[in-house]
Chain A
């Protein structure tokens, strides 16, 4: 759909993240896969090879690995604002799953919809907002044919 027909939001950060300390918004990542299914091969390889590296590189994200899923292999990302994002990793290679995990770790839990403006500020004006009488001489200083300065 077009931007007008689909939901949109303004650019925002969760709880003024970054003003003081930066806090990673991804809370936990669950990898659910089956130990025997063919489409979970990439997930199994990821767990064997790359999962530890990923966990060490992102110490503030808790990684849960669960090998008893009945359905398709998926990656469940839970964020600090409560959003849960589920991504299917069926028939994906280990590198692709690692890239996906890094992408999820960089996101905040806000909706992925059209962002109306690429900026957001709480202080739009520092020197005072312009109005038509800014920088115009007042009647106290104007000298005209009939009007003398007071």
Chain B
């Protein structure tokens, strides 16, 4: 950075008698740097004026455009038409039953599970239903088949998906040992933790053609 502009006279007088020589040298250097600064600013001013008048003459450097590719968004009217078409197609497929196995992402027992029919799930707490009861899981986030997926924001409607499960087993977990031991302090505590567990079998996942 060029030092702040100072007229040569003031610097020599301000430095004092003992350091006159150094003050003179600094004054000369400051003048030279001041002149260079003035010249460069003039040059820059000229170049910016020319760019504003004729574009396309600026060189393409690595910083002229961002490094990610420029995304061209589609026309909103066309996009809405395309969306409607897709929704109609998927609705027709669901109505005709042109899907095989369905999978769903379900929020249950404060966890999200990816489930299909005929698979087992275990929760680490007791459920109020008895063994053999059929349960409907209501918080469904996503349902997918081989050709299409229905993604909820964040949940799908209850009239769109139906996930049913049966309670198979209500047991206790294996006895987990919780032990604390401090060496040389004659301190040890042992506690056996047994949690209730519930095992569920997912019976069916059904979807109904009510997309809009």
Checking B101, B122, B168, B173 against A123 with a beta-carbon cut-off of 8 angstroms, the contacting residue is: B101
Q: In the complex, what's the smallest C-beta–C-beta distance from B183 to chain A, in angstroms?
A: 19
Interface size on A, as a range, is 20 to 34
Checking A13, A112, A122 against B168 with a beta-carbon cut-off of 8 angstroms, the contacting residue is: A13
Q: In the complex, what's the smallest C-beta–C-beta distance from A144 to chain B, in angstroms?
A: 14
Q: With A and B bound together, what is the CA distance between A85 and B123 in angstroms?
A: 23
Q: With A and B bound together, what is the CA distance between A57 and B102 in angstroms?
A: 36
A119 contacts B122, CB within 8 Å? yes
Interface size on B, as a range, is 20 to 34
- Which of these binds chain B: A28-36, A100-108, A133-141? A100-108
Task: Tell me the interface secondary structure of chain B in the complex.
Answer: strand
Residue of B nearest to A108 (CB): B169
Asked whether any CB of chain A lies closer than 8 Å to the CB of B206, the reply is: no
Convert A92-124 into 0s and 1s, putting 1 for each residue whose CB lies closer than 8 angstroms to a CB of B: 000000000001011110001111001111110
Asked whether any CB of chain A lies closer than 8 Å to the CB of B107, the reply is: no
Task: Tell me the interface secondary structure of chain A in the complex.
Answer: loop
Residue of A nearest to B116 (CB): A123
Checking A107, A121, A122 against B171 with a beta-carbon cut-off of 8 angstroms, the contacting residue is: A107
B201 contacts A119, CB within 8 Å? no
B145 contacts A13, CB within 8 Å? no
Q: With A and B bound together, what is the CA distance between A103 and B199 in angstroms?
A: 14
A126 contacts B168, CB within 8 Å? no
Residue of A nearest to B147 (CB): A127
A126 contacts B102, CB within 8 Å? yes
Q: With A and B bound together, what is the CA distance between A121 and B145 in angstroms?
A: 16
A119 contacts B121, CB within 8 Å? yes
Checking A1, A2, A19, A105 against B201 with a beta-carbon cut-off of 8 angstroms, the contacting residue is: A19
Q: With A and B bound together, what is the CA distance between A6 and B175 in angstroms?
A: 11
Known contacts A18-B201, A103-B172, A107-B169; decide if A126 and B122 are in contact (CB<8 Å). Answer: no
A126 contacts B144, CB within 8 Å? yes
Asked whether any CB of chain B lies closer than 8 Å to the CB of A52, the reply is: no
B residues lining the A interface (CB < 8 Å): 100-103, 113, 115-116, 118-124, 131-132, 144-146, 149, 166, 168-174, 177, 199, 201, 203
A-B CB contact pairs (8 Å), 20 listed: A6-B174, A12-B120, A18-B168, A19-B201, A22-B131, A22-B132, A22-B168, A25-B169, A103-B170, A106-B131, A107-B171, A108-B169, A112-B171, A112-B174, A121-B120, A123-B116, A126-B145, A126-B146, A127-B144, A127-B145
